A and B are shown apart, each in its own frame.
Chain A
Amino acid sequence: MSPIRTRAALLAPAMVILLFAAAGPLVIVLIYSFLTPGDYGGVIWDFSTDAWFGVLAERDFFTEELSWADAHLMVFWRSIKLSLMTAFLSLIIGFPTAYFIATRPRGSRDVWMLLIMIPFWTNLLIRTFAIMELIRNEGTINTVLIAMGLVTQPVQMLYTEFSLLVGMTYVYLPLMILPIYASMERIDFSLVEAGYDLYATRWQVLRRVIFPLVKPGVVAGSILVFVPCLGAYVTPRVLGGGKQLMLGNLIELQFGQLRNWPLGAALSLTLLVIVMVALIFYVRAAGNEESAHG
């Protein structure tokens, strides 16, 4: 086979999967978002922009008056806010963890990484229910707090944004630790010594030497946490209890109970756009700072 044909053959399986599993469904979603909802789910093949209209606005049923779709905006805002907070919290927790592991002797690093990865390999539902068991009103934390006499009433943690933040941070933390650890492990430790030698304090070494060198890992980790958080479904479903909807739950609602497939499709594509915009913005920001450093 010619080199070009060999390359094509190597690429073919991935292309087939992308075509049928990503590009194809995406086109279908795009088409559905411009159709009319059927009475019992599904779509009627009548062109309509109502769904896209409905993403941001709503029309009063009787007066036909237009207003912002506050409920949707609320969910957008909550999704973006919680995803950013989760990424930030994961960074705060993940960075020192990665540093700790990367500075262990070579042999024990793999053990530490395994400990980080084991929860990640456990079923998502099980992990989420474990968190629920910890923070629900009759759960471990509240039981201990009450037994110690610190509170008289159980502290409401479940079904709040707090519970979503805790749950998603717990679930996605390994995705932050892994890339930071990977770039941290490659650092030549004599660079750190050189920093100390040249009068940099611990904090300055961290900020001026270590952080710039692991920044690619931090960027990758932040993206890996932020993006799945935006579309998270299971965690907000279990820990938000239908009260704290996120984008994923809102979309599910349209395809399920509300039987508005076109709106669901439009919301899905909106999510995709938000992710893309966020990524472009983030990568640009990270890149600019890089070139400013020279």
Chain B
Amino acid sequence: MTIKRSKTLTDYVILLFLLLAMAMCLVPLLNTVAISFSDKVSAQGGRVFVWPVNFNLLAYGELLKDAQFFRSFMISVYRVALGGAINLVLTILTAYPLSKSPAQFPAKNKYMWFMVFLMLFNGGLVPTYVLISQLRLINSIWALVLPGALPIFSCIILMNYYKTIPASLEEAALIDGGGPWYILLRIYVPLSKPSIAVMALWAIVGHWNDFFSGLIYITSRENYPLQTYIHSLSVSVDWQNVSNMKGEDIARMLSVSNLTFSSAKVVISMIPILCVYPLLQRYFVTGIVMGAVKE
């Protein structure tokens, strides 16, 4: 039964609030897109709001000439593929034995506590950096994908999902002579597709968006992944020199940059996320609900 009622003033006020919230989320995005399509003078002069002024594609033309941008873009694509694949394989593999009861897998609890401890406590920035440099991984793509090879949180979520798969399926496979590998690959993986999709999307977004490991582990600019490259441009300030600079100098430095060009870079770097966004939206509610309100 639904009760029909006429719209009151409150309804419109609430609607207004919601539309305002939506507009607030859109305006910064539209502003950046609009600036990237505007002419430099209008952009620099602050005359662009959410619609391009003197529409043109000059910034994108300039971008085509920026070889490093495309290099970094491809490095990021490669990193997402490599890092995402490693994350997924390890998560799928590790979550399966952990989903067994201690009776089936006696060492389960030991592994579990080991992983939970590592989720709570870590060595932090400097010891990890020293390790990476002593492993001679500095400036290598492996420094970006190996340290987080097994995302523990994802692994626990997938483990909880595996637990919901009826044991009778496993028993049937066992009677047919299938071992654990067969059961994992032929029963658990196909049945966990929605959950695995969530893990894959998390891995893709995480690797694409991460700029910090690129900032610390990659020393030569030409090996920068895309987000690190964009970060290095927008914050292209030498921290050491800056501490000797005066306030106005820094303020001038912050404002004088090629605005349309850098906005075009930001826009292009958003595209991959926008491409997977419909998928993210379809699966991520499942993902969050799995994580937060389990069983």
Query: Do A and B actually bind?
Result: no
A interface residues (Cβ-Cβ under 8 A, vs B): none
